């Protein structure tokens, strides 16, 4: 479908006579010059790989370049600030991760409002996690790990990629839902965490499937369960946490496309439709499969609901941690 046709359809679906719709139509086919796609993490990160997988085909579809720019550091805050401060014309967009929902509970002085200052365009997909232990660990199942943690509260160490990371949140959720307490060891990123898990210095940790899969298959670490709703095709013999006795457990960090607040509805509709088309392309799906990334593609409303729910749930988890520390 041509860009002009898509805008016309979007106008019909949105508020046909709205100022935003008229302005988008009067400006001509969007986009009519290159679009900046800000990635709020470093080159080579999962977020970056997703951006570089979709940008070329978005450009082909919309007949303009989507130029990926990395604005890394500080849990994505500097990059997100640049996105929200841009003009709401659709020419500066960005990819954010679950850290966007975690940051409000970690930083009281964020330079933007996590919900009000963005336009949530679409949730592109998610990254399932795997709960793993060293190859020589005595724990063969999640049940055994939980029983040991209950018998020895705050003695079995749990590693994460840092306080407030998605891997940390996954661990806090497990503690809450299984009624256990680990000794948390935060690392400065996933690579040192993996090294110490393989060596046995860390008893257990959540890892992105894309990071863990090679080591699981090599036998250097053992997968106990996944954080997903269903078993993963790449690890068919690994049960989910829900199957393993932690009823209702589900946490898959996500990646979404956002823009500054008040993006015109036709532009949002066009970008959303384009992303949904691109993530269904065989070549893009193949790149995602290698990364262990599960494409979804949602409406703006669905993405916004996910964001709001996770802000609340993460604040609760972090608040409970602080309460436990104060009481301990």
pLDDT tens digits, 32-51: 999 999 999 989 888 999 99
Burial of 228 (0-12, 13-18, 19+ CB in 10 A): buried
Read off the pLDDT of residues 258-313 as tens digits, 9 standing for 90 and up.
999 999 999 999 999 999 999 999 999 999 988 889 999 999 999 999 999 999 99
Say if residue 16's pLDDT is above 60: no
CA dihedral of 210, 226, 308, 314, whole degrees rounded to 10: -100
Burial of 107 (0-12, 13-18, 19+ CB in 10 A): middle
In sequence order, what are the residues at sequence separation of 6 or more whose Cβ sits closer than 8 angstroms to the Cβ of residue 201? none
DSSP code of residue 278 = H
Q: Are 162 and 102 in contact (CB under 8 A)?
A: no
Read off the pLDDT of residues 59-96 as tens digits, 9 standing for 90 and up.
999 999 999 999 988 889 999 999 999 999 999 999 99
Read off the pLDDT of residues 237-267 as tens digits, 9 standing for 90 and up.
999 999 999 999 999 999 999 999 999 999 9
pLDDT at res. 74: 84
pLDDT at res. 322: 76
Mean pLDDT, rounded, for 203-225:
95
204-208/129-134 β-pairing: antiparallel
Read off the pLDDT of residues 18-34 as tens digits, 9 standing for 90 and up.
444 434 444 558 999 99
Q: Are 186 and 192 in contact (CB under 8 A)?
A: no
Task: Place 210 in a pLDDT band, splitting at 50, 70 and 90.
Answer: confident
pLDDT at res. 327: 65
What does the mean pLDDT of the chain come to? 90
pLDDT at res. 28: 56
What is the maximal distance between C-alpha atoms in the chain? Answer: 68
**Helix, strand, coil % over all residues of the chain, rounded to 5:** 45, 20, 35
Rounded distance between C-alpha atoms, residue 106 and residue 198, angstroms: 29
């Amino acid at each position: 479908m041509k860009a002009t046709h898509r805008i016309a359809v979007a106008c019909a679906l949105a508020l046909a006579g709205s100022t935003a719709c008229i302005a988008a139509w009067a400006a001509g086919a969007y986009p009519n010059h290159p679009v900046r796609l800000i990635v709020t993490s470093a080159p080579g990160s999962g977020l970056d790989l997703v951006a570089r997988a979709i940008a070329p085909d978005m450009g082909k579809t919309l007949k303009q370049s989507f130029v990926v720019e990395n604005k890394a550091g500080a849990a994505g805050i500097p990059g997100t600030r640049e996105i929200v401060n841009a003009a709401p014309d659709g020419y500066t967009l960005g990819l954010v991760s679950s850290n966007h929902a975690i940051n409000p509970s970690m930083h009281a002085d964020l330079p933007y409002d996590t919900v009000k200052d963005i336009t949530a365009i679409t949730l592109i997909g998610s990254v399932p996690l795997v709960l793993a232990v060293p190859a020589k660990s005595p724990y063969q199942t999640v049940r055994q790990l939980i029983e040991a943690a209950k018998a020895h509260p705050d003695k079995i160490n749990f590693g994460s990629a840092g306080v407030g990371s998605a891997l940390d949140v996954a661990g806090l959720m497990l503690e809450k839902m299984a009624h256990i307490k680990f000794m948390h060891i935060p690392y400065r990123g996933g690579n040192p965490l993996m090294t110490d898990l393989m060596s046995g210095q860390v008893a257990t940790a959540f890892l992105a499937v894309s990071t863990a899969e090679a080591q699981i298959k090599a036998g250097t670490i053992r997968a106990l369960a996944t954080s997903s709703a269903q078993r993963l095709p790449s690890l068919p013999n690994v049960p989910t946490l829900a199957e393993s006795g932690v009823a209702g457990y589900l946490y898959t960090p996500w990646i979404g496309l956002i823009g500054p607040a008040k993006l015109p509805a036709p532009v949002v509709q066009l970008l959303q439709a384009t992303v949904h088309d691109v993530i269904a392309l065989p070549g893009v799906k193949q790149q995602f499969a290698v990364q262990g990334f599960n494409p979804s593609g949602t409406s703006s409303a669905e993405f916004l609901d996910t964001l709001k729910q996770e802000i609340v749930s993460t604040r609760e988890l972090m608040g409970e941690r602080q309460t436990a520390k104060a009481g301990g």
